[in-house]
A = this chain, B = another copy of it.
Amino acid sequence: MNALFNCISQYHPISLSAWEALSKALTQVSIPRNSFLVQEGMVCNHLYFLEQGCLRGYYNLDGKEITYWFGFENHFITSFYSFISRKPGIENIQTLEDSTLWGISYEALNQLFDLHKDLERVVRIINEQYYIRLEERLMAMQFKTARERYEQLLESSPHILRRISLGQIASYLGISQETLSRIRSHV
């Protein structure tokens, strides 16, 4: 659980009492490769912190699996739309490696927000940072070519390429697997 504490502290310090309360509300989840944390059609009731392993979020469109994010160590993971809106989502969250996470339920988290304002603050701040990242990704998607997006990914997250299959990376970049393969061979 140290990793989570360190991760949170990087965003904003929290009080010891808030951390203790949070610790008590967390449940450890260990699941093998290729299992599902969240499946489409269900309400995602938990926010997770990924301590070890690797996941992807994807949904099905016209019979294809569309991967739109990857999660690695020290990332917060949830089906955001469903978790926030309390409605069933279209998203599946699948482990790509054996993974260990810490989870907290929506109810428990919101109870903690009432009791520990510094916890609510740090979550607000983390949300803001995740928003900025999403904004950057949208810009890249909107105004860069496939090759530029791939090169940007290479720079910012070289580890993705070692842990994720080509087809899934292509989907994440919004291009076909064949195109990515060709970009990669410098053609």
Whether A3 sits at the interface, judged by CB under 8 Å, is no
This protein's copies in its complex: 2
Contacting pair A128 B84 (CB below 8 A):
yes
Contacting pair A134 B127 (CB below 8 A):
no
A-B interface, 3 closest residue pairs, ranked by CB to CB distance from nearest: A142-B174, A124-B124, A141-B141
- State how many residues of chain A have any CB contact under 8 Å with chain B: 28
A28-36, A115-123, A161-169, A179-187 - the one binding chain B = A115-123
Interface positions, chain A 45-103, Cβ under 8 Å from B, are 61, 66, 68, 80-81, 84-85
Contacts of A81 in B (CB 8 A): 132, 135
Instruction: List A residues at the B interface (Cβ < 8 Å).
Output: 61, 66, 68, 80-81, 84-85, 113, 117, 120-121, 123-124, 127-132, 134-135, 137-139, 141-143, 174
14 contacts between A and B (CB under 8 A): A66-B142, A66-B143, A68-B139, A80-B128, A80-B132, A80-B135, A85-B132, A120-B124, A127-B128, A127-B131, A131-B134, A134-B134, A141-B141, A142-B174
